Amino acid sequence: MTVERYIRIFAGLFIMLSLALGVEGSPLFVSKWWLAFTAFVGFNLFQFGFTNFCPLGLILKKLGVPESKAGTACAS
């Protein structure tokens, strides 16, 4: 897997988890303040789209995760 794919997986996981912890109807509800974490992840994804800077990406690169597969084109 590549850095960008890990970023998408982590972002999706954190959004789902923070929604489960922040929505009152959820069996895992803790506090509405967890919704602020959802907003933070969304804002980080938004700025990543413009700047191509992501703190998680830096960490993953330092851990040796490849940036992209050689010879693979993105279809999106």
- 3 state DSSP class of 74: coil
Instruction: Kindly state whether residue 68 falls inside one of the protein's structural domains.
Output: no
Instruction: Kindly state whether residue 74 falls inside one of the protein's structural domains.
Output: no
Instruction: Kindly state whether residue 10 falls inside one of the protein's structural domains.
Output: yes
Instruction: Kindly state whether residue 53 falls inside one of the protein's structural domains.
Output: yes
First to last CA, the chain: 17
pLDDT in tens, the chain (76 residues): 999 999 999 999 999 999 999 999 999 999 999 999 999 999 999 999 999 899 999 999 999 999 986 544 444 3
Task: Please give the pLDDT value at position 68.
Answer: 80
Q: How many domains is the chain built from?
A: 1
Give the domain extent around 36: 3-62
Instruction: Kindly state whether residue 69 falls inside one of the protein's structural domains.
Output: no
Instruction: Kindly state whether residue 22 falls inside one of the protein's structural domains.
Output: yes
